[in-house]
Amino acid sequence: MSKAKDMVKIDSRLLESILREREITKSELSRKIGKNDTYISKTLREGAMIPEVSESLICLVLGFDPGYFVLKDVEERSETEQTPADLAALQDDISWLKAQKEADSKKLVMLINGLHDAGTVLEKILQKVGANTLQLEKMKDDFRAVVKDLELTGYDKAVKYLKETLANGRVLETDITKKAELEGLKLNDLYRAKRDLHVDTASTGYGKNQKTWWFIS
């Protein structure tokens, strides 16, 4: 009988290591993937099989590719071993992903429509003024820069943010993540950008006094 592709087991040591490094609690991660506060801690403690889509959500939140936390040497559960609870959990995850996708699509449509309307209004104003001055040219350039920035994806903004933040040397990880959240950046986009830009890390101090620094070699 073929083996199901929708149930996997988490590499608990790897996941706990990442959570400690980023100072994220298991309860926080549980909430970020739409589960109750004890979902992650219970999964790691019991070594339970979880839906593959749940593992993908964990990877999405932490900025990794799907399958990053799958324990490779554990055979997946066969179709006959799936319980009603497994199927219900899988259905919940699928429903949550669909709702997130619909919400994101609506936001994107609203943003594009807003940009189009704003651009049309500004062009009409500039046509009526008809004055070829440095001030008007600057207004056009500023507007184009704003539109270009708004058209960037969350990942693109995270890449731009990291390049600017680390341009002058190393910076505390906590300062980087706090400022990123204030600017509306998602942590999973930030950590994906960190990976793709090959940002290095270094730690100083021990225990509670330990600090992690980010820098580009």
Q: Which of 131, 193, 130 is nearest to 159 (CA)?
A: 193
Dihedral through CA 72, CA 35, CA 191, CA 107, nearest 10? Answer: 130
- Going by CATH, does the domain composed of 152-217 fall within 1.10.3210? no
Q: For residues 67 and 30, is the Cβ–Cβ distance under 8 A?
A: no
Give the integer Cα–Cα distance in Å for 67 and 72: 9
Q: For residues 184 and 149, is the Cβ–Cβ distance under 8 A?
A: no
* Predicted pLDDT of residue 150: 62
Phi-psi region of 64 (alpha: psi -120 to 50; beta: other; left: phi over 0): beta
Q: Where are the domains of the chain?
A: 7-82, 152-217
**Residue 42, CB half-sphere, CA atoms under 13 Å: how many?**
7
* Predicted pLDDT of residue 162: 94
The two three-digit tokens of residue 150, written as one number: 């708004």
Amino acid, single-letter form, for residue 41: S
Q: Which of 29, 52, 32 is nearest to 41 (CA)?
A: 29
Give the integer Cα–Cα distance in Å for 180 and 133: 37
Dihedral through CA 182, CA 37, CA 54, CA 65, nearest 10? Answer: 40
Q: For residues 202 and 215, is the Cβ–Cβ distance under 8 A?
A: yes
Mean pLDDT by 10 residues, the chain (217 residues): 65 91 92 90 75 91 92 52 55 74 80 78 70 66 63 87 93 94 92 93 89 92
The two three-digit tokens of residue 203, written as one number: 């730690």
Phi-psi region of 109 (alpha: psi -120 to 50; beta: other; left: phi over 0): alpha
Residue range 191-203, pLDDT digits in tens: 999 999 999 999 9
Fold of 7-82: 434 Repressor (Amino-terminal Domain) (1.10.260)
* Predicted pLDDT of residue 174: 93
Q: Is 33 strand, coil or helix?
A: coil
